[in-house]
Amino acid sequence: MPELPEAEVVRRGLDRWVSGRRVETVDIVDARSVRRQEGGPAAFESALLGARFAAAARRGKFLWLPFVRDAAAEPRDAVVTHLGMSGQVLLQDPAMPDPRHLKIRLTLDGGPARHEGTSDLPGELRFVDQRIFGGMFVSPLVPTLDGAPGGAGTDLPLIPAAAGHIARDVLDPLWDPSTFHRALTRLPSGRPRTTGVKRVILDQAVISGVGNIYADEALWYASLHYDRPASTLTRTHSGILLEALIDVMRRSLEEGGTSFDSLYVNVNGESGYFARSLQAYGREGRDCLRCGGRIVREPFMGRSSYRCPRCQRRPRLKKFTAADARV
């Protein structure tokens, strides 16, 4: 299931194989995959025909390719891709049969000089999506603003308007423990966040790139229960949690991401191997590798949470006091 490491693997593939190339044809096989496109499928097609892609970028699980029509111009728009639950971006030879669940097909030219002599340069970019939670759409690039969730201090000067609400992601080098602690434990208004810590780290407007798998993994490393009120976390807790999030994302990235089935692959159709390294997620009934307790699976937000009941104990109910509300 695509989270930050999987999106980054795909971004690297796009950057290597697609940037610098021009779109020759656009074929929307299933209009549901461009449902977020303003103006509908026709607008998507007319925006991309003849466009030349620049370097691929990403924030959290959103990735995008800025594009231009005039080689001398600066990109003002980007084609944004979100993989959702089951999206894949494949670069394939046009002679290969269409994959099942093919939704969008872009044929690309031979690319710039750096692609010359590359005998196996795939000619088609194919967006494949079984569950149709993902999609593609064109969005104007806007400056990242101070005060926006991922705004000041980011290394991305421009971001698609449609992704402007997404906060700085886990691997952004400019996160620091103090900023993270405040984002985790306080609302923008300054009031305490009383909601559970897992809900908060899944909120892409607080920190982006975390999904159900890596949330459970990071909480296991930090020995935190998913329902512990965020406002009760100390700076030590939030510091350990941030380190755990960064560490689990980096290690997953080194192994090409997490694949449980064929639903996540890189642009070459290859699976990642991080599923073998998971400590909590998907390990129901197996021993906790830290304390020997038995990992349990519990319903949470309409999905599942995995934890060790011994070293990630359920928080005791605490009466809310005036001191908690002090800003």
Partner DNA sequence: TGTATAACCTGATCGC
Partner DNA sequence: TGCGATCAGGTTATAC
Active site residues per annotation? 2-3, 61, 303
Please, which of residues 124-163 interact with DNA by CB under 7 A? 130-133, 162
Q: Are 105 and 124 in contact (CB under 8 A)?
A: yes
Alpha helices of 133-223 — where are they, by DSSP H? Answer: 177-185, 197-202, 212-221
Nearest distance from residue 1's CB to DNA, in Å? 5
Cβ neighbours of residue 130 closer than 8 Å, sequence gap 6 or more: 86, 100, 101, 263
Residue 108 or residue 159: which is nearer to DNA going by CB? 159
Please, which of residues 8-37 interact with DNA by CB under 7 A? 32
Question: Is residue 301 a contact residue for DNA (CB under 7 A)?
Answer: yes
Residues facing residue 68 across a β-bridge: 52
Residues facing residue 65 across a β-bridge: 79
Gyration radius of the chain over CA positions: 21
Nearest distance from residue 229's CB to DNA, in Å? 9
Q: 56 φ, ψ to 5°? A: -75, 145
Kindly state the tokens that stand for 30.
């299933």
Q: Are 80 and 127 in contact (CB under 8 A)?
A: no
Q: 34 φ, ψ to 5°? A: -120, 25
Q: Are 63 and 136 in contact (CB under 8 A)?
A: no
Candidate ranges 112-120, 144-152, 185-193, 311-319; the one touching DNA (CB under 7 A): 185-193
Candidate ranges 64-72, 145-153, 197-205, 234-242; the one touching DNA (CB under 7 A): 197-205
Nearest distance from residue 195's CB to DNA, in Å? 4
Exposed e or buried b per residue across 218-237, where buried means at least 16 C-beta atoms within 10 angstroms of its C-beta:
bbbbbbbbbbbbbbebeeeb
Cβ neighbours of residue 23 closer than 8 Å, sequence gap 6 or more: 48, 49, 50, 51, 52, 53, 67, 106, 107, 108
Among 66, 211, 256, 257, binds DNA (CB under 7 A): 211
Nearest distance from residue 197's CB to DNA, in Å? 11
Query: Nearest-5° angle of CA 198, CA 201, CA 203?
Result: 110
Cβ neighbours of residue 152 closer than 8 Å, sequence gap 6 or more: 146
String marking each residue 226-265 x if it binds DNA according to CB under 7 A:
----------------------------------------
Question: Is residue 56 a contact residue for DNA (CB under 7 A)?
Answer: no
Residue 60 or residue 66: which is nearer to DNA going by CB? 60
Nearest distance from residue 22's CB to DNA, in Å? 28
Residue 108 or residue 141: which is nearer to DNA going by CB? 141
Question: Is residue 202 a contact residue for DNA (CB under 7 A)?
Answer: yes
Residue 13 or residue 196: which is nearer to DNA going by CB? 196
Residue 285 or residue 302: which is nearer to DNA going by CB? 302
- The size of the chain, in residues, is 327
- Contacts with DNA by CB under 7 A lie at 1-3, 32, 60-62, 82, 84-85, 100-101, 130-133, 162, 165, 187-189, 191, 193-196, 199, 202, 204, 211-213, 297, 299, 301-304
